[in-house]
Amino acid sequence: MPFPVSDAPLDGGWHPPAPNWLNRYAASSLRAEAELGVPLGTFLPGEPLAALQWVARSDDLAAELGWPADWADDQALQVFGGNGTWPGMAPMATVYSGHQFGAWAGQLGDGRALLLGEVDTPLGPREIQLKGAGQTPYSRRGDGRAVLRSSIREFLCSEAMHGLGIPTTRALAVVASPQPVRRETIETAAVVTRVAPSFIRFGHFEHFAHSGRPRHHEALQALLDFVITHHFPHLAEQPQPALALLDEVVRRTANLMADWQAVGFCHGVMNTDNMSILGLTIDYGPFGFLDAFDPDHICNHSDTQGRYSWNNQPQIGHWNLRALAQALLPLIPEAEADPRAVIEVLERYEQVFIEAMNKRWRTKLGLLSEQPGDNALCIDFLRLLAAGKVDFTIAFRRLAGFDTSAAVDAARNAPVRDLFLDRKAFDAWAVRYLERLRAESSVDTERADRMNRSNPLYVLRNHLAETAIRQAQRGDFSEVQRLHRLLRQPFTEQAGCDADAGFPPEWAQSIEVSCSS
């Protein structure tokens, strides 16, 4: 039998350390609703699932939260499956709006997510959220559930991105239930427990800016104040706090886009409601890591126009920031008379992104300094990859072993050279690379070490995730757990894992991922 829902809280078991669960955002919602008559969301319990079982857990994350080694007991299983709450929790689905595939979609909201609350941790306050805990007022005719397939992908990828050093929401656990869920076929239900300093999105601001209701300007101001107070307190004394926040988000988003591009990560659904105000990777759906390099690769089968291709991600980041700026305009009264300050902040994005991207490409090539011609050297290497459909991750990893004593030696540099069908084109580039390395007196062993700490050996390729999913759907979660352990250390060679770092099998080309989850 499932545990009782939130009107009969669980007790008698382990609880997080005092002061137990907080919900500052929920408190803000209550105040806004009481004072402004404007709800920021809806309080409601999860819908129970039967026969819950752990699929995988991130004990590393639990330790970072300050939780004990035995945190994952039977009561925790029920709480993180949406079947009950601990005292102090106030489950809440938040409301937001947004642009989806470039078109205004109106009100959206947490259609299958519940914010359990915020807990104090050694890392600072962290929000705990369930994805797949049942219907909410924002489900838009959906069932509010997540399926095992997509839940495993989110768990593995969010923790893999953390291992890569890329800002992201985290995943504490996945729990599964045999309850059927209909998508294209009948699948089974699962719930992911997600952790982040905040799950507030661009779309939260858009919701109150575009509704046109009389009190929503005050709610927009309350949301701005909340975000600055709790996440950007250094902006509180700025003469134009909304503009200062926009500037902060511009910089964070530009750096996040550079992070994604550098590891060949494709998000797949960069709608404004999937953009974090903190610059985190959020909402793992039809994502993918590049195999054979194609700048125009589209990882989302539903993206028929290629709006969110790998090559388009940086400009879409900018597009989304313009939408956020539009939402913040009511809080920047000076902008009505003179919009130049807002325009200047948005224009800063390109400069920040280019500098961040060039720095990451230099690092991936093992370059210590910045010199004229570096950008062309990096871009030409990417062109070589694209021309030969060379595996993105493997190419950069093998380049670490480039031997500067023999730039065009077919034997010594064969591991990387033989990736390219056009050997002459690679040899011509290799001569330039050799000259560039010698210009800064680069030492091969030292450069190889630097490059291997920047270019991952392991990423969550679709075929690796698919193999784990198929095994999990048969009731065996061991491959999910093994991949999780592997991806915690993506730069370090691990015994017995050669296949995980190898080329994808031919059948991987038939894998399709879409917005369905």
Which positions are catalytic? 273
* Three-class secondary structure assignment of 296-348: CCCCECCCCCCCCCHHHHHHHHHHHHHHHHHHHHHHCCHHHHCCHHHHHHHHH
* Three-class secondary structure assignment of 69-122: CCCCCHHHHHHCCCCCCCCCCCCEEECCEEEECCEEEEECCCCCEEEEEEECCC
128 close to 106: Cβ distance less than 8 angstroms: no
Cα Rg of the chain, angstroms = 24
* Six-digit token string for 431: 């001569």
183 close to 253: Cβ distance less than 8 angstroms: no
How far does CA 459 lie from the centroid of its chain? 14
156 close to 197: Cβ distance less than 8 angstroms: no
Three-class DSSP category at 457: coil
**AA identity, residue 359:** K
Of 143, 144, 162, 178, the C-alpha closest to 55 is: 178
Q: Name every residue whose Cβ is closer than 8 Å to that of residue 383 and which is 6 or more positions away in sequence.
A: none
Taking the alpha carbons at both ends of the chain, their separation in whole angstroms is: 26
Phi-psi region of 64 (alpha: psi -120 to 50; beta: other; left: phi over 0): alpha
Three-class DSSP category at 44: coil
